[in-house]
Structure 1
Amino acid sequence: MQKQNGLRGPWGDLPYEPTLYHFLGPFDVYDREETLGVELDTWDMNDPLQRAALIRRDITSQYKELSYRHRHALVAVLAQALQDPAYDFQAILEHDPESTYALPALWDDMADPRAFFADIYRLVLQDWHDDLARAAAEDPSDW
C-alpha cells in the first residue's frame, strides 16, 4: 500500500497509512450485532442499488473527520487495489473470530466483493470530487 509523505492521521500525530479496512469502519458491528448488525442484515449487498445507497449513506456522506488530503490518500489505496486483477477483496470481508472487528453476517459470502469496492470507488469519485481534485492539485510532499 502507498504511504503518503508527511500526512498525519486525523486522530493523532501518527503517519496516516490508509487501508481498505478504513472504508469498512461504518459497517463494524462488533458489540453492536443486536442493533447495527440487525439493521445492516436487512440490506442485500448483492443488489447494486441497495449497495450504492448504503455506500452513500455510510461512507461518502460520512468521514467528515477526514480532510481532503486524507480522502485523497484513502482513495489512492483503493484505486491501487482495483488496478490489481489478482487483488483478493474477499479476504477483506472474511470473518476473523479472534478479532474485535466484525462485519455484518453473510458479508463474507458476498457474490462479488470486487464489485462492492468498485462501487465504493465510483461513488467516492463522484461525491468527493471537489476534495479529490483539490488534493490532486497539491504536492503530497508538502503534506
Structure 2
Amino acid sequence: MMPKAKPTGLRSPWVDVPYEPTLYHFLGPFDVYDREETLGVELDTWDMNDASQRAALIRRDITSQYKELSYRHRHALVAVLAQALQDPDYDFQAILEHDPESTYALPARWDDMADPRAFFTDIYHLAQQDWHDDLARAAAEDPADW
C-alpha cells in the first residue's frame, strides 16, 4: 500500500488542490513516456545498481531540481518516503513495475533494479542532506497551520 501524507492545509504547487505526495512524485523526472528516444536513451546509460551513479542522478534530477516545491512541500514529500522506509515489508519494486496501460513510463530495465529499496533509501539520505535547512524549517512548524 502506498503511504500518503498526513492531511494538512498544504496546497499543490501545480493546481489548487490539497497536496498529497506519494513516492511516485520522486520518479517524475524519470518519466520517459513519449520521450523514450531522448530522455529514455540518456537514462539508459546510467547504471541504477551502481550507488555512485544512482546518487549523481538523484542529485541531478531530484534534489537540485524540485525548485517549485516549497520547504513545506519538500518536508511532506520526504515524510511519505520516511514512512515507507520504516516498513520493512514495503514493496518498492512495485513502484518501478512497468504498466503498459499507463501514460507513465520509467526507463528500460528500471523494473529490474537489483535493490529498489536502496534507490529510495538513497533518495531519502540525499534529500536529508541537500534539503536540510528546508526540512528543519518545516519540522519546526505545526503542519496544521499550513
> TM-score interval w.r.t. the shorter chain?
over 0.9
Distance in 1 between residues matched to 2:114 and 2:98, nearest whole Å:
15
Confirm or deny: 8 A CA contact 1:72 1:131 kept in the other structure.
yes
Confirm or deny: 8 A CA contact 1:4 1:73 kept in the other structure.
no
Deviation above 4 Å: which 4+ runs of structure 1?
A: none
- Give the superposed CA RMSD: 0.5
Q: Does 1:101 align with 2:96?
A: no
Deviations 1:38-97 (A, max 9, x none): 000000000000000000000000110000000000000000000000000000000000
Distance in 2 between residues matched to 1:9 and 1:39, nearest whole Å:
30
| 1:87 alignment partner in structure 2 | 90
| 1:45 alignment partner in structure 2 | 48
Matches within 5 A, 1:112-123: 112-123=115-126
Confirm or deny: 8 A CA contact 1:45 1:51 kept in the other structure.
yes
TM-score (norm. length: structure 2): 0.96
Distance in 2 between residues matched to 1:122 and 1:40, nearest whole Å:
22
Confirm or deny: 8 A CA contact 1:9 1:15 kept in the other structure.
yes
TM-score (norm. length: structure 1): 0.98
The alignment partner of 1:46 has SS state of: coil
Confirm or deny: 8 A CA contact 1:7 1:15 kept in the other structure.
yes
| 2:78 alignment partner in structure 1 | 75
Distance in 1 between residues matched to 2:15 and 2:70, nearest whole Å:
13
Distance in 2 between residues matched to 1:47 and 1:14, nearest whole Å:
38
* Residue 105 of structure 1: how far off its partner (Å): 0.1
* Residue 4 of structure 1: how far off its partner (Å): 3.0
